[in-house]
Amino acid sequence: MSTESPAPLLQIKGVSHSYGAVRALRDIDLTIADNEFFALLGPSGCGKTTLLRSIAGFETPEAGEVLLDGADLTRLPAHKRPVNMMFQSYALFPHLSVEKNIAYGLEAQGMGKADIRNRVGETIDTVGLAAFAKRRPAQLSGGQRQRVALARAIVKRPRLLLLDEPLSALDRKVRADMQLELKRLQHEVGMTFVVVTHDQEEAMSMADRVAVLNAGAVEQLDTPVGLYSRPRTRFVADFIGTSSMFDGTAVAGGVDVPGLGMLRAAHELAVGTAATLVVRPEDVHLVEPGTGALDGTVIDSYFLGGSSTLSVAVPGRPEPIGCTVHATSTARRGDQVGLRIDHERSVVVVDDRATAAQASA
């Protein structure tokens, strides 16, 4: 499936930026569609916040262009862009009520009082805070304050809303609820959302497409399903979800892994290429010892409700292999088991760590 979006709203062309000797962004190219929920995902220091600030107008990239509806915003000050940004801290005015916080930007624009009242009322209803309109931020829960910040950002009806780690201040349960709420609101208000996060679960649950950044560059741009099931680099395979990584050498029909031998997998890499076989835990199945690709010993089990994840130690491999089984599985710690790997669902990628080491040698 193509990862290119129709009807582009935002185009980022060749954007690069540095802080002294540190390259924060390296020739970034992205196209984001109208009404799309888009996520910039990556570890700390990967450049995602610098890219968001470049879109917002708080940073001016050294090279490249930022286009919105075809208009070049690259040198336009932040306050003149049809873009709003919701910050991680929420930055609510503690002395103002919910409705006054939401109305503040409209009042600053000089909108008439009747129009402000109508717009604020509609927005408060949209985020489900009508019963809290007269309260101040200190009287609200973390999730409610997050909704106020979101309402203040969308009430001005920007073409584009940028969200910087919007849920990081919330506890796990509230964060899960707000992930669904953000997605619902994005569809309801018909606006393009671009969210920055280091939390893969957050990105994968909300976004239509995700750009995974690493060291200032886009490693992969894809749908959440595509990132998980078809990672294109070792970094993406390791960063997204949980997997067992088997490093070795590409051979016909699989990967030759030191200490384990040849593991079957379909791939198109040249024979002799440093390669990594990526296996998700749900694609490893318990079988009788001697009947699978590998044999090992169960060393731990993690109960997850409808399923459990087993850790299986395999001779010749330093790290255990994860295996997801039905909750009724009778496998226990110390049991000898066989492991069958679903080679049709496994993915083989170039081991770019080996390639980089060879290049620097």
Fold designation for 8-229:
Rossmann fold (3.40.50)
User: Which residues of the chain fall short of a pLDDT of 50?
Assistant: 1-2, 5, 359-361
pLDDT for 5 equals 44
Are the C-beta atoms of 198 and 239 separated by less than 8 Å?
no
- pLDDT value for 111: 85
Q: Smallest Cα–Cα separation from 91: which of 126, 40, 137?
A: 137
44 forms beta bridges with none
Residue type, 60: T
Look up residue 12 and give its two tokens: 């980022």
Give the CATH class of 243-360. Answer: mainly beta
Reading the block at residue 197, the tokens are 């996060």
Q: What is the 3-state secondary structure (H, E, C) of 62-128?
A: CEEEEEECCEECCCCCHHHCCEEEECCCCCCCCCCCHHHHHHHHHHHHCCCHHHHHHHHHHHHHHCC
Given this model, what pLDDT does residue 36 score?
A: 93
pLDDT of 312 reads 96
Q: How far apart (Å, rounded) are the C-alpha atoms in residues 228 and 204?
A: 9
Identical fold, 8-229 and 243-360: no
- Domain residue spans of the chain: 8-229, 243-360
pLDDT of residue 357: 52
Question: Model's pTM, two decimal places?
Answer: 0.86
DSSP annotation of 139 reads G
Burial label, 258 (beta-carbon count in 10 A; 0-12, 13-18, 19+): exposed
Position 359 scores a pLDDT of 47
Closest CA to 30 of 75, 71, 76, 64: 64
Q: Are strands 83-86 and 160-164 parallel, antiparallel or unpaired?
A: parallel
Q: For residue 292, with 0-12 CB atoms within 10 Å meaning exposed, 13-18 middle and 19 or more buried, which class applies?
A: middle
